[in-house]
Amino acid sequence: MSSIPAPARWSRAARRLLVVPLAMIVAASATGADAATAPASAPKAKAATPDRLRYDVSLRGDADGSHWTGRQSVSFRNASDQPLREVYVRLWGNGDDKCGTPDKPSPVKVSKVLGGTAGRLTVNCTALRITLPKPLARGERTAVSFDVSITVPRRNGRFGREGAFRFLGNALPVLAVHDAKGWHLDPYVSAGESFYTLASDFRVRIDHPSALKVPATGRTWTRRGKPGRTVTHSVAHRVRDFAWAAGPFRTAMETSPGGVRVKSYWAPNTPAAGVRLNRKDGVAAVDRFGREFGRYPYGEIDFVMTKEFGGGMEYPGLVILGTSEEGGAVVHEVAHQWWYGIVGNDEYGAPWLDESFAQYANARFYGWDTRTCWSDVDWPDEGTALTNSMAYWAKHPGEYHLVYTAGSCALASLERTIGADAMARLLKRYAHDHWYGVSTTADFKKAAQSVTDKDLAAFWKKHRIR
């Protein structure tokens, strides 16, 4: 998500690049009574499942991209030692509106389910249980499919709109994850992310008016549709989500020196200087992080820019950015392609594993002086830890900036503790070992200890990495 204001001792330019609207750090949605409890019948197995997911989606948009309807299917394998008896579909697009009202219904609806029996919507209408016809044994595959209807909310946000432009982040339903902790049915939070998905393949067909440009996750190409319409096709492999946007964007395409195709989309009223700076820094960041963490594997990345979007939001192969003459949060969002996108984590359970890492990469890119930033960290009490979950941060929204500020400072301090060369080896090896997988705090601590002879126990305690 967007960057949070930096400590006062960082440079003035650095602080400007981190500013986001207050709305991005307000209180998140409260946990519902049925929010995070797994069914008693859920199998207890360590392997994350369902895995090897393949999504096939066909959507049709209306005249201005405000409403989308179509059919979605997902095939999957049971990776667990125990039979899989149900799956959960997460309708994250309902997060802010919950179950809606008669006058304003939920923006994402699922109907005509095949391949299983649909239950009732739970977790504030963000989770739908589908009971499978028969238990799915380990290694077996099956599929479910359903009609989907998506109405873009009238708010400026990752799933929302700005003028003639539509953003469809977290709008497409995805399957929840079951692991050693059971089903992850955490509530939606607006100040941060709740998302936890496994690397999946997507093949998406988007039928839309030709007047609209449609940037999307994956490698995209267009073909002529019916009169006045265009079909944008996208194929994305080993990604954790699929997002798109729609509107009368201006466009440009370039290839980075490292061979990544970069497509830029911007609203006509967006400051030209901000667009140029986002494109320049974004292209440089893709190549630099590819050298530092491992080559960017998706071939293409899209930058979607409007004047009033709040900060930035990351999706696989696509980032949505606000912009001004001073630029925006593009480098932080590009870093998320590795920290959350390629190296996955439970964003609700351990948000520091992507936000702190992306912000540390951001600081390194811009060459900020972080030698004394840790002295600016003010912990409210002993219960506050860098590794707290979104359940904690949602109840303490005024402290959430610590995930960005204290987190990036902690990683900078780790670099000084073990040495720059060891830190470089650590990040590259850590990314390699969890490429397309899921990491935990324990995994990172183990990886860090493996590259140094120094006992890091005191370091973890000091920086509240628990």
The model's pLDDT over 279-299, given as tens digits with 9 standing for 90+, comes to 999 999 999 999 999 999 999
Helix (H, G, I), strand (E, B) or coil at 375: helix
pLDDT of residue 2: 57
pLDDT of residue 207: 98
Chain segment 302-340, per-residue pLDDT in tens: 999 999 998 899 999 999 999 865 656 999 999 999 999
pLDDT of residue 439: 98
Give the integer Cα–Cα distance in Å for 257 and 370: 29
Q: What is the DSSP string of 317-367?
A: TEEEEE--TT--SHHHHHHTTTBTTTBB--TTT-THHHHHHHHHHHHHHHT
pLDDT of residue 143: 98
* Structure tokens belonging to residue 430: 């850590």
pLDDT of residue 325: 58
Non-local (6+) Cβ contacts of 199 within 8 A are: 238, 239, 240, 344, 436, 437
Range with the poorest average pLDDT among 64-78, 117-131, 310-324, 435-449:
310-324
pLDDT of residue 278: 95
Residue 326 Cα distances to 12, 46, 262, 271, 310, angstroms: 12, 47, 21, 9, 14
pLDDT of residue 1: 66
Chain segment 239-256, per-residue pLDDT in tens: 999 999 999 999 999 999
Chain segment 133-164, per-residue pLDDT in tens: 999 999 999 999 999 999 999 999 999 999 99
Give the integer Cα–Cα distance in Å for 175 and 60: 22
Q: Is the dihedral of CA 77, 83, 89, 95 positive or negative?
A: negative
Q: Is pLDDT at 23 greater than 50 in this prediction?
A: no
pLDDT of residue 377: 85
Give the integer Cα–Cα distance in Å for 342 and 359: 16
Give the integer Cα–Cα distance in Å for 396 and 373: 22
Chain segment 89-113, per-residue pLDDT in tens: 999 999 999 999 999 999 999 999 9
Instruction: Fill in the DSSP letter of residue 376.
Output: G
Q: Is the dihedral of CA 67, 71, 77, 83 positive or negative?
A: positive
Give the integer Cα–Cα distance in Å for 1 and 92: 16
Tell me the percentage of the chain whose pLDDT exceeds 90: 85
Q: In what order do the strands lie in the sheet with 261-266?
A: 250-255, 261-266, 300-306, 318-322, 312-315
Phi, psi of 446 (to 5 degrees): -65, -45
Q: Is pLDDT at 37 greater than 50 in this prediction?
A: no
pLDDT band at 264 (very low <50, low <70, confident <90, very high): very high
C-alpha R_g of the chain: 21
pLDDT of residue 11: 40
pLDDT of residue 328: 62
Instruction: Fill in the DSSP letter of residue 28.
Output: P
Q: What is the DSSP string of 284-314?
A: HHHHHHHHHH----SSEEEEEEESS--SEEE
Helix (H, G, I), strand (E, B) or coil at 384: coil
Chain segment 193-221, per-residue pLDDT in tens: 999 999 999 999 999 999 999 999 999 99
Instruction: Please check whether residue 47 is in contact with residue 76, taking contact to mean a CB–CB distance below 8 angstroms.
Output: no
Q: Is pLDDT at 83 greater than 60 in this prediction?
A: yes
Q: Which residue has the tokens 């073909």?
A: 223
- Rounded to a whole number of angstroms, the distance between the first and last alpha carbons of the chain is 23
Q: Mean pLDDT in the chain? A: 91
Give the integer Cα–Cα distance in Å for 318 and 301: 6
Q: Is pLDDT at 17 greater than 70 in this prediction?
A: no
Q: Containing H/E element for 209?
A: strand 200-209
pLDDT of residue 166: 98
pLDDT of residue 43: 39
pLDDT band at 33 (very low <50, low <70, confident <90, very high): very low
Give the integer Cα–Cα distance in Å for 34 and 20: 32
Residue 263 vs residue 191, higher pLDDT: 263
Chain segment 338-389, per-residue pLDDT in tens: 999 999 999 999 999 999 999 999 999 999 999 888 777 889 999 899 999 9
pLDDT of residue 22: 29
